[in-house]
Structure 1
Amino acid sequence: MNSVSEEKKSSLPGKDIQIQEDFQREAKASLDGLSFPSPQDEAWRKFPLHALELETYFQNANAFQTFFAEVEGIESPFPRLEVLNALKAACVANYFALHALSTARQFQWISFEGAKEVPDTKEILWNQTEGKHIVSVIIYYIPKNTNVKLHESFGSYLQSEDLHISNQVCFYYLEENASLEILTEEEYDSNHIQLKWIGSHQKRDSKLVIHSFPKKGFRGKIFYKPELAGKGAEFLLSGVSVRKKRELLDIDAKVVHSADYTSSKIKYKTIVADRAHHIFTGDLYIPGQVKKVTAHQESNNLSLHKKARAEANPKLEVMAEDVSCTHGATVGDLDEEQFFYLLTRGLSPEEAKALLLEAFYESSLSIIGFSELTKAELSARIKEAVFGS
Structure 2
Amino acid sequence: MAAASSSGSAKALACFHASLLAPQTRTTAVASASPRRASVRMRASTAAPAELKKTVWVWTENRQVMTAAVERGWSTFLFGSKDLGEDWSSTARINPLFIDGPEIFDGENQKVAEISQVSSPRELELVQPDNVEVKNIVIDFRGGWQVIPAENIVAAFQGCKGTVLAVSTNSTEAQVFLEALEQGLDGVVLKVDDMDDIIKLKDYFDRRNEAKSQLPLTKATVSKVEVVGMGDRVCVDLCSIMRPGEGLLVGSYARGMFLVHSECLETNYIASRPFRVNAGPVHAYVTVPGGKTSYLSELRSGKEVIVVDQHGLWRTAIVGRVKIESRPLILVEAKDNSGDTYSIFLQNAETVALIIDDTGSSGRTAIPVTLLKVGDEVLVRKQGGARHTGIEIQEFIVEK
Q: Which of the five TM-score ranges fits, normalised by the shorter chain?
A: under 0.3
Greater length-normalized contact order (CA 8 Å, ≥ 6 residues apart): 2
Q: TM-score, normalised by structure 1?
A: 0.26
**Greater fraction helix:** 1
Q: TM-score, normalised by structure 2?
A: 0.25
Larger radius of gyration: 2
